[in-house]
Structure 1
Amino acid sequence: MGTADVEIKGRPVDAQTRCVHYRTDLDVVAIRFACCGEYYPCHLCHEETAGHPARPWPSAEQDARAVLCGVCRHELAIREYLGVTACPRCAASFNPRCALHADLYFEASPDRTHGRRLGA
């Protein structure tokens, strides 16, 4: 299955991974959760529909491909995603306010700048 065929679980409202909780023009990422390996638009979608508690990605696994750009379907490694404000393939901007709840998706690593552009 290619990334174009990735199923987005939860409560998405469009093909660019926006959901009932986060649906601005910048809310165009889905996160593959470490606990189940499934993509969800946000932590609330996972909480409401997964049937199990979420677990953030360990800081040692930042090379895991776990972030999907909803615009071009490019899959980014966590480390790559944490270092950008837009998709490196299509230049779609990502929501900088997602940093407010990044700890729900990714454990902090000692080399990561606090408050940098983080998960949806």
Structure 2
Amino acid sequence: MTVLGATVDDQTRCVHYGSPLDIVAIRFHCCGEFYPCFRCHADAVDHPVTAWPADRFDTRAILCGVCRSTLSISDYLEADFCPSCASPFNPGCSLHHSIYFE
């Protein structure tokens, strides 16, 4: 998967969020492209973010930057770590869920 935006390493960390736990990229509903965060998306495109509708939470729209596996939105929202490689996800990302998901 290609991750667009201002990534700083091969695990999808970006210039905005670069902690050891910031390993998730999101396929944006509005354009279908993966970005590490909403700020990277805003820096790169000229359209607003649209949230994934709840009836599409089965879409594999989350990329683990460590193992490169994709998760459905539902699986991601229920997980504290990647189910494929057990790498922990940043719990602080939940503060931004309303930007990405209905």
TM-score bucket (shorter structure): over 0.9
% of aligned pairs identical? Answer: 55
Query: Which structure: larger Rg?
Result: 1
Of the three residues 46, 49, 56, the one matched with 1:54 is 49
The alignment's C-alpha RMSD in Å is 0.5
Instruction: Determine the structure 1 residue equivalent to 2:59.
Output: 64
Structure 1 gaps, min length 5: 1-5, 108-120
Which TM-score applies when normalising by structure 2? 0.98
SS at match of 1:66: strand
TM-superposed CA distance for 1:52, in Å, is 1.1
Where in structure 2 are the equivalents of 1:1-120 lying within 5 Å? 6-107=1-102
Which TM-score applies when normalising by structure 1? 0.84
Q: Is contact 1:12-1:19 (8 Å) kept? A: yes
Distance 2:93 2:60 in 1: 18
Query: Structure 1 segments of 4 or more deviating over 6 A?
Result: none
Q: Is contact 1:11-1:45 (8 Å) kept? A: yes
Could you list the per-position Cα deviations for residues 29-50 of structure 1 after superposition, in whole angstroms to 9, with x for gaps in the alignment? 0000000000000000001112
Distance 1:27 1:37 in 2: 20
The aligned amino acid for 1:27 is D
Instruction: Determine the structure 2 residue equivalent to 1:3.
Output: none
